[in-house]
Amino acid sequence: MTTYSVSCRRVGNWWAISVPELKGVHTQARRLDQVAAMAREAIALLLEIDPAAISIEVHPELPGTVVAALDARRTARDADEKAEQATTTAVRALLGDGYTVRDAGALLGLSPQRISQIAAQNTTRPTSSAA
């Protein structure tokens, strides 16, 4: 199966589709979810092959607002991961220093049950051993 990268951008009410790898392959679709099928059909017609033998990777041109939203979501995910790691470290440190589960929860703004869940998580990560 051959994979083609397909570029598309919004023009009016349509997605203008092109296949940079194949000169002259252009088509259009009404919706983004139709781009891959339309591109596959256009490529198959040009190359005279079965559309099932073609895999498509769609790369839409993103408006600036979408890029900003995706960046913000990525930043938020990263911040959530850092917060989880910092919370786990704090819980283990507090409990290791003799704080009660209730006190650790009060300090971190978490329920005692959540503190217990965090404390019970496996503290070691699996490592691969070299033979």
Q: What is the pLDDT of residue 131?
A: 44
Give the model confidence (pLDDT) of 44-82 as tens digits: 999 999 999 999 999 999 999 999 999 999 999 999 999
Is the pLDDT at 93 greater than 80, yes or no?
yes
Nearest to 19 by CA among 58, 61, 49: 58
Supply 60's token pair: 């839409």
Residue in the block written with tokens 């959530």: 80
Is residue 88 within 8 Å of 121, Cβ to Cβ? yes
Q: What is the mean pLDDT of residues 80-94?
A: 97
Indicate whether 127 pLDDT > 90: no
